[in-house]
Amino acid sequence: MTTLYDLVEKVKAEIDVARVGMIVCHNGIVRATSRAGEPAEYLDVDVDQAVWDKILEEMRNEEGISAVEAHLFTGRRNIGDDVMLVVVAGDIRENVFPVLEKTVNRLKKEAVLKKEKITA
């Protein structure tokens, strides 16, 4: 099972440490409610891999960014399970934090296919 530690170590092995001032991480998990507040039982997750790869490549080319890695756990994910891990390395926080947020948002909106099981 892929962990944030695995992704951070992969990034550290690929970057020029003289140019990196920070590594930031995202660990998305399954909530017990939908965004609208409805109780949820689980989340079914899939990915459009071509779109996923394209987004990561674009984010790697952002100003000040040295590396971007991400992992999506597909299939049935239960409450509390990890869903998406994202790691961004770069020069300064003013460049790195926005790229983390942009990467997470774009992956979720454009590449992740999900279906919540809402409890009635």
Q: In the chain, count of helices (H) and strands (E)?
A: 3, 6
Locate the DSSP E strands across 30-111. Answer: 40-47, 65-72, 75-78, 82-90
Q: Is the pLDDT of residue 118 over 90?
A: no
Right CATH for 4-118 from 3.40.350.10, 3.90.1150.10, 3.40.50.1970, 3.90.1170.40: 3.90.1170.40
pLDDT recorded at residue 79: 94
Query: pTM of the entire structure?
Result: 0.93
Residue-range domain boundaries for the chain = 4-118
Q: Is the pLDDT of residue 17 over 90?
A: no
Q: Cα separation of 109 and 47, whole Å?
A: 11
Q: Is the pLDDT of residue 117 over 80?
A: no
pLDDT band at 95 (very low <50, low <70, confident <90, very high): very high
Average pLDDT over residues 74-78: 96
pLDDT single digits (tens) 45-72? 999 999 999 999 999 999 999 999 999 9
Q: Are 10 and 88 in contact (CB under 8 A)?
A: no
* H-helix or E-strand spanning residue 114: strand 112-118
pLDDT recorded at residue 35: 85
Q: Are strands 40-47 and 22-29 parallel, antiparallel or unpaired?
A: unpaired
Average pLDDT over residues 39-50: 94
